[in-house]
Amino acid sequence: MIRGVITENHEGIVRLSIFGRQNQTERIEAVVDTGYDGWLSLPQSLINDLELPWLTHGRAVLADGSECVFNVHEGEVLWDRRRILIEVDASETMPLVGMQLLEGFELTMKVRQDGPVLIKRMKPPSKDPRRRR
């Protein structure tokens, strides 16, 4: 389970550990953003410090309708006590946790200042042979 908190700005924040190419660890705070369909975004300066390998360019349409191009890197994050490889999008905003990273997890937030943010792994669907689709 991953725990976080709601800030006075009504943002759900979680703390994560990101691992660099030389196995260095950086602790970050990231905003849980259900409108972001990627894995994790980080500032390019932190990506450079961690020496995360470049994968490709990505494209996104912003809320104002404009399009932006950004670098996509490979990174490793500690997520629910497991080190996993993910795609990291370069962005000059605060780090964001996106829907790809939340896949297979239940997100619960009590939206008030200092309210809890809980991200819990979901159980796999039942394989009861009596259930029909």
Cα separation, 57 vs 38, in Å, equals 13
- pLDDT over 70 percentage in the chain: 95
**What six digits make up the tokens of 11?**
């943002």
- The per-residue pLDDT for 76 is 98
Indicate whether 132 pLDDT > 80. Answer: no
- Ramachandran angles phi, psi of 44, nearest 5°: -55, -35
Q: Which domains does the chain have, with CATH numbers?
A: 16-101 (2.40.70.10)
**What six digits make up the tokens of 9?**
């700005």
Find where tokens 């990291």 sit.
88
Task: Tell me the pLDDT band of 124, cut-offs 50, 70 and 90.
Answer: confident
**What six digits make up the tokens of 58?**
């990505």
- Whole-structure pTM value: 0.88
Q: What is the pLDDT of residues 83-119, one digit of tens each?
A: 999 999 999 889 999 999 999 999 999 999 999 999 9
- The per-residue pLDDT for 46 is 97
Q: What is the pLDDT of residues 39-93, one digit of tens each?
A: 999 999 999 999 999 999 999 887 788 999 999 999 999 999 999 999 999 998 8
- pLDDT over 90 percentage in the chain: 83
Bridge partners, 13 (sequence order)? 5, 31
- Where are the extended beta strands (E) located within the chain? 2-6, 12-19, 25-32, 40-42, 54-61, 67-79, 82-90, 96-97, 105-109, 116-121
